[in-house]
Amino acid sequence: MKFALGFYTRSRLRIMPVTRSATRSVASTPAGGSNKTTTAVSPSAVGKSSKRKAAEEPPAAKKTPRTKKTKSSEADKSAVTLLTPDGFIPPPPPPLQNESEETNLVPAVLTFSFEEAKAHLIRADHRFEDIFTKLKCKPFEFLEQVHPFRALVESILAQQISWLAARSITHRFTRLYDPSLPEKVADYSASKSPTSFFPTPYQVANTDILTLKSAGLSTRKAEYVQDLAARFADERLSTKKLLAADDETLAEMLIEVRGIGRWTVDMFAIFSLRRPNILPVGDLGIQRGMLRWFLSRHSSKHTFTLSPHKLSGSKPNDDKTKPASTSAMGPPPATPAPKTTPSSQLTGDVELDNEVLPTSPESQLQAPASIESTSAFPEPFTPSIEKTLEADAMNTEPLPEGLSVANLKSRLEGKKIKGAFLTPKEMEDLTASWVPYRSLGVYYMWALSEEKK
């Protein structure tokens, strides 16, 4: 019995040799009958396993070095990216095969009878009959196609500079998009043709400010032109919409454009769209001409004076007064460059070169350009106009309430009302009999606006 017990004890305490498979078996045996298994790996096994995995993994791809952004690359990106209130403007669709550039032009036709308009004004004031024989009403007699976008761009470029400078800058602006054009505007005979090359709204809208400034535009004018171009590019503005709008809706649409005010809208309506009943109440030249027209109608003692070059019979520079050719597009420069004088009257569409607006009370309306600054405006009348002005109007109406011969004379001599010769209400009352053809009468008032120098 003792022998059997001793044998049993020795067999139970016999230490079995430890092998690798035994070690894994023991280590992997669940404790307490648990179904969960835990794996114990020796440090040497971990090292070997890591080396094996490293050998099996494919080599990692080399990382390309990150390109450092530069100012020039950001500028290039801005040259082709336009952010507008409505987002990025997509590229324009390809034109249809039968689509013509003429679809973007204002046709060379009137929306009213010119003969009826003349007859109406003659009935209102018989002196108009002689006026019509002395001077052609260019905007309504010399009809030409007009590109609205082009006309408005040129009107913005012409603000606050001479017409010669405006012509040069407009040509440099155009050459940004077609460098093959002659470097000098004098060498480009087709510059006034409505079908000659001019950049599209989409091209201008996607041109950066620095590039536009390289053509001679100020920063503000570059921004104005971009805003106008963006509106044509995304069709907030179009030739069709401008033609369909009534006078007030037209003004509302265009005044939303930066750099365009009521005076520019009125000039565009008369010279580009040929609207028959426009009264630019902010134009000092028209106001001065109206004073002389109505003062001579009610006072035969009033004498009409002209500048010395007219009284002596000399002629101004031919370049400044030559008639518009049949190929010229409306009034372009569509609106003349306004002058800055002590009595200048500015609207929102006028930009001073130093970007500082005057603060005097007289600077609230638009000053007229010299009537010699662009071929669209009439030349001053010769001294013979005095006989016309003194003629019996045959149907003289009384002056509107609040106006008299005495205060008309004082206004003409320089006593203004808040910087103006006439208030908008006075202008409307004086021209009430011209309705619905005020635009024609207004055109001739510019020819009477010359001051004695």
What confidence tens digit (pLDDT) does each residue in 34-57 have?
444 444 444 444 444 444 444 445
DSSP states of 287-337 as a string? HHHHHHHHHHHH-TT------HHHHTT----HHHHPPPPTTS-SSSSSSPP
Among the ranges 89-103, 179-193, 419-433, which has the highest mean pLDDT value? 419-433
Q: Does residue 384 have a pLDDT over 70?
A: yes
Candidates 403, 271, 431, 246; CA nearest to 335 is 271
Residue with more model confidence, 55 or 245? 245
Question: What's the rounded Cα separation, in Å, for the pair 279 and 266?
Answer: 7
Q: How confident is the model at residue 336 (pLDDT cuts 50, 70, 90)?
A: very low
pLDDT for the residue 65: 54
Candidates 120, 115, 427, 437; CA nearest to 276 is 437
| Burial class of residue 84, CB neighbours in 10 A (0-12, 13-18, 19+) | middle
What angle in degrees, to the nearest 10, is found between the helix axes of 262-271 and 148-157? 130
Mean pLDDT of the region 258-282: 97
For residue 366, report the phi and psi dihedrals to the nearest 5 degrees.
Answer: -95, 130
- Residues linked to residue 420 through DSSP beta bridges, in sequence order: 417
Scanning 33-137, the segments in alpha helix (DSSP H) are 43-56, 71-80, 114-124, 128-134
% of the chain at pLDDT higher than 90: 49
pLDDT for the residue 241: 97
Question: What's the rounded Cα separation, in Å, for the pair 134 and 388?
Answer: 10
CA angle 223, 358, 331 (to 5 degrees): 55
What DSSP character marks residue 35? Answer: S
Q: Does residue 409 have a pLDDT over 60?
A: yes
Mean pLDDT of the region 260-280: 97
C-alpha gyration radius of the chain: 41
List the structure tokens of 329: 């597009």
Q: How confident is the model at residue 212 (pLDDT cuts 50, 70, 90)?
A: very high
What angle in degrees, to the nearest 10, is found between the helix axes of 148-157 and 219-233? 170
Q: Does residue 258 have a pLDDT over 50?
A: yes
Q: Is 305 left (phi over 0), alpha (psi -120 to 50) or beta?
A: beta
Mean pLDDT rounded to a whole number for the chain:
73
Q: How far is CA 227 from CA 203, 224, 244, 268, 410, in A?
A: 12, 5, 22, 17, 43
Q: How confident is the model at residue 315 (pLDDT cuts 50, 70, 90)?
A: very low
Residue with more model confidence, 48 or 443? 443
